Amino acid sequence: MKNFSIIIRDAREKYMSVARQMEEKIKRMGGFAEIIIEPEKGSDEGISLSKECECIFTIGGDGALIRTAKRTVEKKIPLLGVNLGHLGYLCDLDSETVLEAIDSLFLGSYEIEERMMLEGHLNSDEDNKHIALNDIVISSENSTQVIEMIVYVNGTVLFQLKGDGMIISTPTGSTAYNLSAKGPIVDPLTELILLTPLNPHTLLSRSIVLPDEAEVAIEIRPRRTHTIERARICFDGSGPGSTVFSPDDRAVIRKAKEKVRMIRLSKMNFLERISKKFREEGGF
């Protein structure tokens, strides 16, 4: 491949400088490159790409890659992240390795992975569904209050739980919020759904792994008659679709038909990459 779109988080010099270096190298090698500033966070605005684009670089961090993946998923163009932010699990490159990576892409020395996504909507409004690459999180609208949830899987009650909320995660998202909540780490190339409670008020709570064809539904049960207790559903953090719902609503979540295509340059397998991350963080 030799035709690239470079999506930068914003126009600050630390992003623009790396993007210009990449653009110059690609053009010297006879390729095409365009630099595009990412739309405002939280918007569902799409990204207009060149028709020749074969690969999308994102410059920023895991968040920039996730937002771009969701905005371009219908185009089925593979993505490759350049991390200039905090430690992340999705971006393979940084400012010191990205120019060498361009050589590999021109030579065809790479693999493309497909990552599962989730979709969710409220009640029966499937025309207003939203997608997530990492996770869909349900939590109390009031951060100081717990909520009581009824969780259904394929129409059957799985459990009823009081706590701060629930993370419904993809394998890719297993190393995001799910990891912070002590959920399991799974290979991002698998296809399954993870349910991880947030600070549950029980001694017996555990994450649950579901098959990818499962449909998860969550309702909020009112605990008091004199107050309105509402929850918030968030798609990949505070992305488009995040909204409040009440005990009269039902959140329905399932595997999305869309898949994100990501370029892998490293020869390390998933377990080797995780081990390296843990060592970098002082885990062992």
- Which residues does the annotation mark as catalytic? 62
Looking up tokens 């701060």 gives 164
Question: Are 194 and 184 a contacting pair, CB within 8 Å?
Answer: yes
Question: Are 255 and 191 a contacting pair, CB within 8 Å?
Answer: yes
Q: Where are the alpha helices (DSSP H) in the chain?
A: 13-28, 62-72, 98-107, 177-180, 270-280
Rounded CA-CA distance 261/281 in Å is 27
* Burial class of residue 188 in the structure, from the number of CB atoms within 10 Å of its CB (0-12 exposed, 13-18 middle, 19+ buried): buried
- What's the half-sphere exposure (Cβ side, CA atoms, 13 Å) at 15? 21
- What's the half-sphere exposure (Cβ side, CA atoms, 13 Å) at 18? 26
